[in-house]
Amino acid sequence: MALGKAVVSTTVGAEGLEVAPERDLLLGDTAERFPEQLVRALENDALPARLGAAGRARVCARYDWSAAVARLDAFYGELGAPSPPGPLSPAGREERSGRCASTAWDRGSAYLHGRYWSGFLVDGQVLLDCPPQTLVHLFKLGVASSAIELVLLTHAHSDHIGGMDLLLLDMKRTHAERSAPPLVGAPPGMYERLRAIVGTSTRLPERGDAALDWHELHDGDALERGPWRVECVKLEHDAELVALDYRVRAAGGAVLAYTGDTRDCAAVDRLVAGAGLLIAECATDRASGHFEWNDLRRCARGCPQRHACW
């Protein structure tokens, strides 16, 4: 459509686009109707040019970067959060809430589109999920794996745990530099799943050996490490997986709420209550089991002291 060409699509193909059939494009949902629409466009001299012009005008008005960024900027303003910056530096971006600082190294989706997967490091010690590029980005941030005290994994989708085997191997390598093994908190079955993914190609530290303190967590569980206190909240994401989200309390009392992936559900209120910083992954529709932007508006009302929402 941006090229000014006439488009024939199915309803599903145009899902999520704010376009009007017959004005911006033609729709055909059956094996008969789709070719009918193609022939109609090809045999009508004026129709392709009219559709192409209308489609391009629609794209420019609604989906051009300047229009999209302006809407996103307004949305952040509505949430009371600072405007998102431009592209992140290799060292990531910092958000602060009280005495709790979180570094993010990108805000990509599971399907990337040239971006990194989302990753978050709190005060250089607490890792929230472990996407595939985690280890290399810790090096870029100047953070040794031996500095990571706590790793909290939300669920077993690979964009959230795909870097875990190499991180554990590096932690094993640097084990002598630390006074206590890293504490990993994860839903039940996660360690076995990691082992199944990695196979025998790498020698993961065993749960319970000197190099790894692995905790299987359930809804309502709490754990502590150093100045950190963590509470677990079970949320809804993928019916085949347990998804745990976390409230991380720093020594000074600041609370960070983190959703790995989740759809809006009743337990979200428990997760975000009183949090000073909410990090939430969003999608553009609820059908994928994620927050949608409008869900964030509702959540933000539960965080009156909020500093940032994602």
Residue among 63, 62, 71 at smallest CA distance from 294: 71
Minimum CB separation of residue 162 from Zn ion in Å reads: 11
Which residue carries 């602060």 as its tokens?
A: 96
Write out the binding residues for Zn ion, residues 24-63 only, by CB under 5 A: none
Minimum CB separation of residue 174 from Zn ion in Å reads: 29
- Which positions ≥6 away from 262 have C-beta within 8 Å? 235, 236, 237, 243, 245, 268, 281, 289, 290, 291
- Give the DSSP per-residue string, 4-25: ----EE-TTTTTT----BTTTB
Binding-site member from 58, 137, 157, 249 for Zn ion (CB under 5 A): 157
As beta bridge partners, residue 17 has none
Could you say whether residue 281 binds Zn ion (CB under 5 A)? no
Q: How many CA atoms lie within 13 A of 279 on its CB side?
A: 29
- Contact call for residues 154 and 260 (beta carbons, < 8 A): yes
Q: How many CA atoms lie within 13 A of 174 on its CB side?
A: 16
Of residues 8 and 296, the one with the C-beta less far from Zn ion: 296
What are the DSSP E strand ranges found in the chain? 8-9, 26-27, 93-97, 100-104, 120-122, 126-128, 150-152, 183-186, 213-216, 222-225, 228-235, 243-249, 255-259, 277-280, 282-283, 291-292
Of residues 1 and 232, the one with the C-beta less far from Zn ion: 232
- CB under 5 A: which stretch of 23-31, 91-99, 185-193, 257-265 binds Zn ion? 257-265
- CB under 5 A: which stretch of 120-128, 183-191, 218-226, 260-268 binds Zn ion? 260-268
- CB under 5 A: which stretch of 35-43, 61-69, 259-267, 292-300 binds Zn ion? 259-267
Could you say whether residue 261 binds Zn ion (CB under 5 A)? yes
Could you say whether residue 234 binds Zn ion (CB under 5 A)? no
Provide φ and ψ at 283, rounded to 5°.
-125, 175
CA 126 to chain centre: 17
Minimum CB separation of residue 154 from Zn ion in Å reads: 8
Of residues 117 and 214, the one with the C-beta less far from Zn ion: 117
- CB under 5 A: which stretch of 152-160, 166-174, 203-211, 218-226 binds Zn ion? 152-160
Of residues 245 and 261, the one with the C-beta less far from Zn ion: 261
Minimum CB separation of residue 108 from Zn ion in Å reads: 13
Residue among 182, 201, 96, 197 at smallest CA distance from 143: 182
Of residues 27 and 190, the one with the C-beta less far from Zn ion: 190
Strand duo 93-97 + 100-104: pairing: antiparallel
Minimum CB separation of residue 271 from Zn ion in Å reads: 16
Of residues 10 and 158, the one with the C-beta less far from Zn ion: 158
Of residues 260 and 276, the one with the C-beta less far from Zn ion: 260
- CB under 5 A: which stretch of 27-35, 149-157, 249-257, 294-302 binds Zn ion? 149-157
Interface contacts to Zn ion, rule CB under 5 A: 157, 261
